[in-house]
Amino acid sequence: MSYQEFIDSKRSLAHWAGKEAGSVHPILFPFQRDLTKWAVKKGRCALFEDTGLGKTFQQLEWARSTDETTLIIAPLSVARQTCKEAHKIDIEVKYCRDQSEVDSPISITNYEMIDHFEPDKFRAVVLDESSILKGLGSKTRQKLTDMFADTPYRLCCTATPAPNDIAEIANHAEFLGIMTRTDLLSTFFVHDQDGWRLRGHAKEAFFKWLSSWAMFLRLPSDLGYSDEGYKLPPLTVKRHGVESGFIPEGQLFAGQLGGIKDRTKARRGSVDNRLQTALDLVQSNSDQWIIWCGLNDESTKLTRLLPDAVNAQGSDTIEEKKNKIEAFQDGSARVLITKGKVAGFGVNLQNCHKQIFFGLNDSWELFYQCVRRSYRFGQKHPVDVHVIISDAEGSVFDNVMEKDKEADNLRKEMIHVMKNYEQEQLLSGQTEDKYETETVVFRNQHKLMLGDSCERLKEIEADTVGLSVFSPPFLSLYAYSPSERDLGNNKNTQAFFEHFAFVVKELLRVTMPGRNCCVHVSQVPAMLVRDGYIGVKDFRGATIALFEQHDWVYHGEVCIDKNPQAQAIRTKSKALLFVQMRKDASWLRPALADYILVFRKPGENKTPIKPEISNEQWIEWAHPVWYGIDETNTLNYREARDNDDDRHICPLQLDVIQRCVSLWSNPGDLICSPFMGIGSEGYISVKNKRRFVGCELKKSYFDCAVKNIDGARKESEATLLL
């Protein structure tokens, strides 16, 4: 495999697993046609589009274009809508309750009936209103994922999820077979005191990955299309506060509610007052109304007082729920009383433009979805939403409104970031592979190269390097840069060493026969979320094996003494904490030492190395453990740090580099570092009258290295003048 092929294989992008789509029905808007063709070619993907953007037409055309036996799974009453929409584009869709009724290319059923179907009878599946993956209990969600794990074509359709909703994105990726939740978290996210957050340098890679299997859309213009026909009428949300009569225990007046129990008491205590407000609103006109309830006694009382209302409730049979919702859609029922869990997802209730929330909980998503049953593209009337809650629950309303504003801003930001990636996907293209290159040459043949060491090392003449000294990036995804060329950005140990091998082979080529390569390594902790267990990975042993595999001779090693208390403070590892010693010492382990691994290129060294050190120094340095290394004696890394760095760079201690250069090179030798960082190896090389050549991928580190090495060069020249 060539290096470019390896880099291409590293990209965390969903593969094209479908086929070219033929003609799409002309009734679809241009953006709908292009998204449908993309989805057919992608094969397994998601359409995250706002309500009313025509996901039903797109999923139907997707099913027809795949030309495979397809099962569409939809929420209650959506199946009827889908069958109606299908006729508009000359597609036949049959509603089925179980497998025995399937006798046409495209069938549709409800989520409640999936146990009655045989997944291996279908080659394509559509999850309509697939946000249900998040809301379903883990067993049911896992059942869907397992049932269709081998289905070649899979499509998820739902409104744009909240940008910070990792669970919903992870569940979709897992259902589609793109990436497991565990891999998603370990690849792009880091866990700290505030929970999971996107790694700073993972943003670009994450959004590229997301755009490779999901399209996010609020308006057609988000992808550069016309918004004609997609302008929503005004939306008004009005709060109606009523007295509850509830005073939390220990208070003189109704104030801050203490928790769920207090909220429930306040809600139940205000039912009669809220009833009167709701009746006044519904009876003030002859329009259709939806009343969203949260408690059974609320919906029962409302139904009793409103003779022209139907109550679609959880205890109804599937057929009863469907008939009641359809009666409201047809206009034979003026008022629909229901819960968000029953009719809040997927159902098109555009026939109505007035809603009442008979109480409210903290779920912004449920509020958003319920409002969107009426407030969706195609709605011709202004939509009025009335929230009737007790005065004591005012903070609940404020919280939901604040979440709504925050989600809208985040969604806009996310779609803006993803726009270019999505457009590239629609054009069936891939992001162009770009990285910066630059070369700075100082007098005395000090050469610093910005770029990928796997490629820039090729510019060094064979058999010219007297010694290489460096510390490779360890297994730390997106810690320092977003580039696929970053050695640290590999999903697992195997990929890391496959990448590292390109460097190791080039180092062998450029090194003089019989000369050495010093590699600074440390053992790497294994983490539960990334590796599935807590322990230590033998990074040292794997590095030795890699060099030996590529014809280097393992020459020896030095262990560098480390302060366990300093390591405990820095890493917060429970394996080093006093509290763990007293809790359960089975988890304790020694601090992780650093090592200098020394490898020799086969062949005869034609120029003997004669280090200028005393016998006493050699006795000290010949010890298998190097003591007295000052961990703080490093070049200043802070000015090279980026805002998105999740970790600061850890430059190799100058004392360690000094010993390696003094022991295994002569003045005038060419010292090489393929991972130059901020220039520590170059700095010591210049100070010790060696020539230097280094490569660095990250521009901020490269610029810092240029400054540090130029400073060392000027200091050395000034010393000579004295």
Of 32-36, 155-159, 246-250, 402-406, minimum mean pLDDT range: 246-250
Give the pLDDT confidence score for residue 168 in this predicted structure: 84
pLDDT in tens, 254-278: 455 555 666 667 777 788 888 999 9
Give the pLDDT confidence score for residue 181 in this predicted structure: 84
Q: Whole-angstrom Cα distance, residue 43 to residue 2?
A: 28
What pTM, to 2 d.p., does this model score? 0.75
Sign of CA dihedral 340, 342, 347, 352: negative
Q: Give yes or no for a contact between 351 and 358, defined as CB atoms under 8 angstroms apart.
A: no
Give the pLDDT confidence score for residue 718 in this predicted structure: 65
pLDDT in tens, 532-571: 788 898 999 999 999 999 999 999 999 998 888 877 777 7
Of 123-132, 407-416, 481-490, 702-711, minimum mean pLDDT range: 407-416
Q: Alpha helix (H) ranges present in 373-393?
A: none
3-state SS of the chain: helix, strand, coil percent to 5?
45, 20, 40
Give the pLDDT confidence score for residue 252 in this predicted structure: 41
Q: What is the dihedral of CA 650, 9, 599, 526, to 10 degrees?
A: 50
Q: 429: Cβ–Cβ under 8 A, 6 or more apart, which residues?
A: none
Q: Side chain identity at 428, as an amino acid letter?
A: S
Q: Give yes or no for a contact between 105 and 69, defined as CB atoms under 8 angstroms apart.
A: yes
Q: Give yes or no for a contact between 559 and 626, defined as CB atoms under 8 angstroms apart.
A: yes
Q: Whole-angstrom Cα distance, residue 114 to residue 99?
A: 9
Mean pLDDT across the stretch 322-347?
Answer: 90
pLDDT at residue 637 greater than cutoff 90: no
Helix and strand tally (H, E) in the chain? 26, 26
CATH topology of domain 3-223: Rossmann fold (3.40.50)
Binning pLDDT at 50, 70 and 90, where does residue 608 land?
very high
Binning pLDDT at 50, 70 and 90, where does residue 646 land?
low
pLDDT at residue 503 greater than cutoff 90: yes
Of 133-142, 246-255, 452-461, 578-587, minimum mean pLDDT range: 246-255
Give the pLDDT confidence score for residue 649 in this predicted structure: 60
- 66-75, 435-444, 472-481: which is most confident: 66-75
Q: What are phi and psi of 224, to 5 degrees?
A: 90, 10
Q: What are phi and psi of 623, to 5 degrees?
A: -65, 140
Q: Whole-angstrom Cα distance, residue 133 to residue 287?
A: 34
Of 292-296, 376-380, 645-649, minimum mean pLDDT range: 645-649
Give the pLDDT confidence score for residue 475 in this predicted structure: 73
Give the pLDDT confidence score for residue 552 in this predicted structure: 98
Give the pLDDT confidence score for residue 253 in this predicted structure: 45
**Average pLDDT score, the chain:** 88
Binning pLDDT at 50, 70 and 90, where does residue 719 land?
low
- For residues 706 and 253, which has the higher predicted lDDT (pLDDT)? 706
Strand-pair category, 465-470 with 446-450: unpaired
Q: Give yes or no for a contact between 453 and 681, defined as CB atoms under 8 angstroms apart.
A: no
Q: What are the beta bridge partners of residue 356? A: 291, 386
Of 149-153, 169-173, 378-382, 392-396, minimum mean pLDDT range: 392-396
Mean pLDDT across the stretch 668-697?
Answer: 96
Any idea where the domains of the chain sit in the sequence? 3-223, 235-413, 438-721
Q: Whole-angstrom Cα distance, residue 656 to residue 662?
A: 10
Of 108-122, 129-143, 269-283, 592-606, minimum mean pLDDT range: 129-143
Of 378-382, 639-643, 671-675, minimum mean pLDDT range: 639-643
Q: Which CATH number fits domain 235-413: 3.40.50.300, 3.90.850.10, 1.10.10.10, 3.30.43.10?
A: 3.40.50.300
Give the pLDDT confidence score for residue 639 in this predicted structure: 63
- For residues 572 and 286, which has the higher predicted lDDT (pLDDT)? 286
Please report, in angstroms and rounded to a whole number, the separation of the first and last CA atoms in the chain.
Answer: 54
Give the pLDDT confidence score for residue 722 in this predicted structure: 47
Give the pLDDT confidence score for residue 564 in this predicted structure: 83
pLDDT at residue 195 greater than cutoff 80: no
Evaluate whether 3-223 and 235-413 have a shared fold: yes
pLDDT in tens, 335-356: 999 998 888 777 889 999 999 9
Q: What are phi and psi of 162, to 5 degrees?
A: -60, 135
Q: Give yes or no for a contact between 517 and 468, defined as CB atoms under 8 angstroms apart.
A: yes
pLDDT in tens, 42-99: 999 999 998 889 999 999 999 999 999 999 999 877 888 899 899 999 999 999 999 9
Binning pLDDT at 50, 70 and 90, where does residue 478 land?
confident
Question: Tokens representing 21?
Answer: 């789509």
Q: 268: Cβ–Cβ under 8 A, 6 or more apart, which residues?
A: 295, 297
Give the pLDDT confidence score for residue 250 in this predicted structure: 45
Give percent of the chain above pLDDT 70.
92
Closest among 701, 208, 644, 175 to 417, alpha carbons compared: 208
Closest among 3, 160, 47 to 503, alpha carbons compared: 3
Planar angle of CA 648, 654, 660, nearest 5 degrees:
125
Give the pLDDT confidence score for residue 189 in this predicted structure: 84
- 57-61, 357-361, 374-378, 444-448: which is most confident: 57-61
CA atoms within 13 A on the CB side of 607: 17
Return the CATH class of domain 438-721. Answer: alpha beta
Residue-wise DSSP of 172-216: HHHHTTS--HHHHHHHHEEEETTEEEE-GGGHHHHHHHHHTTEEE
Give the pLDDT confidence score for residue 638 in this predicted structure: 64
Q: What separation in angstroms does the CA of 489 have from each of 480, 632, 652, 698?
A: 9, 27, 20, 13
pLDDT in tens, 201-225: 888 888 888 889 999 998 999 998 9
